[in-house]
Amino acid sequence: MVIRMRFSPRPGRLFVRVLLIALLPASALLAQAPIDSALTVYIAAIRAIDSHAHPMRPIRAGAPADTDFDALSLDGLAPFGFQHRLTLDDPIWRRAQNALYQTDAWHATTDSAYRAALAVTVARAVAERGDQFPAWALDQAGIDIMLANRVAMGPGLDAPRFRWVSFVDALMLPLDTRAEAAATPDTRALYPKEATLLKRYLLDLHVARLPSTLDGYVRAVVIPTLERHRAGGAVAVKFEAAYLRPLDFDDPEPAIARRVYARYVAGGVPTHAEYKRLEDYLFRVIVREAGRVGMAVQIHTLESFGAFYRTAGAAPHLLEPALNDSTLRGTKFVLVHGGWPLVSETQALLAKPNVYTDISAMDLILSPTVLAGVLRQWLGEFPDKVLFGTDAFETDAAQGWEQAAWVASTTARNALAIALTEMMRDGEIGRDRAQALARMVLRENAIAVYGLKDR
Ligand SMILES: [Zn+2]
């Protein structure tokens, strides 16, 4: 493994100063009870571990675009609404752009002039920094390690700053998915992407055709793919199943799953009931085997995204039968995006010994005040189960993943400062405990869940 440059693992003083300015607008201090300033300084200096994000490989001029940033990229879906804070209409993005690219100095007169200048500036920054751009982006956001949820890693996304989280939904879908895809216009666009990814996994293993039995498929494809990902540095696998189907994974008779596989592996389209049994069976196999080789399992639980996304199917409580499966207790589950807005469902599941959650995407979507309320609720019960994450993803050149990482990191720290200040003020915790909780959420809980070495 090549580490191309030595970075100071501590965020620079500049980051702390920029963050403090972002966290402590004077008007806010006058308008409401102040956030504890010493705690704010302490939180700003913590080197965070990002549980979930989609960083991009820095692309050289003329090279093909990076398409490995997600197994289910959302292009091809009908238009749908984004939460306001994810859009460029929200002023948080101008603040991120100024923090990263000093855009306030431009005095751009029109929006289009500003956006054109920003695109040029970002392209120049990527070109100049090259493979160092991603690590530079982490430094700007005070992030030490980012878990990169990608189909494959690549130049610029090296360990130890970046760790891989691979995609595994495709392994649940070895048969013809045409009937499953027909459910909604979204699923019609998304299922073929899983079929393409499974082909890639088979190619990686040099498996020319699917084995004729389910046990053969598990032995020759599922387990070797998970082992390959682990050997390639993956610390977790990710299910995006909520984009495709509800998260109600049952525990079918293995004989039924075997029959469905054997009947359709050479051709034909399973009924929905048949396919669900096979998927549910394979879900448990994948989870169990991921844990056996030392990987956590991340599951997308969020209100979004898509034009025909089934919000009710993404409810955290649907996972309870799987989370209560005693044969899966050797695997750590991370409910990514906190199940937002069903955060109380998530909270109830955190009592199970192997269940965790992260605030990725929540710190993009929610204001610091709203996120502080959720954190206070969770930290009061299960402080060792809550992880920081960003879900930093790239929208376009004017809204790159590096900006999203900055927005999420700044929002999360601000929210933590608000929640912990309130808890201190109400006499629930002292300053030492507040600092410990901040370290746990931003860093230490992730080290425990993903088996990272503290550096
Ligand atoms: Zn994500």
Is residue 455, in this structure, part of any structural domain at all? no
pLDDT score of 397: 76
Is residue 72, in this structure, part of any structural domain at all? yes
Is residue 2, in this structure, part of any structural domain at all? no
Distance 154 CA to ligand 1 centre (A): 18
Distance 54 CA to ligand 1 centre (A): 6
Peptide bond between residue 341 and the one before it cis (omega within 30 degrees of 0): yes
CATH code at position 68? 3.20.20.140
Structural domain total, the chain: 1
Distance 6 CA to ligand 1 centre (A): 28
Distance 348 CA to ligand 1 centre (A): 23
Q: What are phi and psi of 417, to 5 degrees?
A: -60, -40
Locate the DSSP E strands across 193-305.
234-239, 296-300
Is residue 412, in this structure, part of any structural domain at all? yes
Residue whose pair of structure tokens reads 């977790």 in the numeric block:
236
pLDDT score of 23: 54
Sign of the torsion formed by the C-alpha atoms of 155, 159, 163 and 164: positive
Distance 134 CA to ligand 1 centre (A): 17
Burial 266-297 (b: 16+ CB within 10 A, else e): eeeebeeebbbbbbbbbbbbbbbbbbeeebbb
Distance 298 CA to ligand 1 centre (A): 10
Is residue 8, in this structure, part of any structural domain at all? no
Is residue 154, in this structure, part of any structural domain at all? yes
pLDDT score of 144: 98
All residues with CB under 5 Å from ion ligand 1: 391
Residues of the chain with pLDDT under 70: 1-32, 455
Residue span of the structural domain in which 258 resides? 13-450
Residue 319: which of 340, 304, 333 has the closest Cα?
333
Is residue 6, in this structure, part of any structural domain at all? no
Distance 52 CA to ligand 1 centre (A): 6
Cα–Cα distance, 117 to 427 (Å, whole number) = 49
Is residue 197, in this structure, part of any structural domain at all? yes
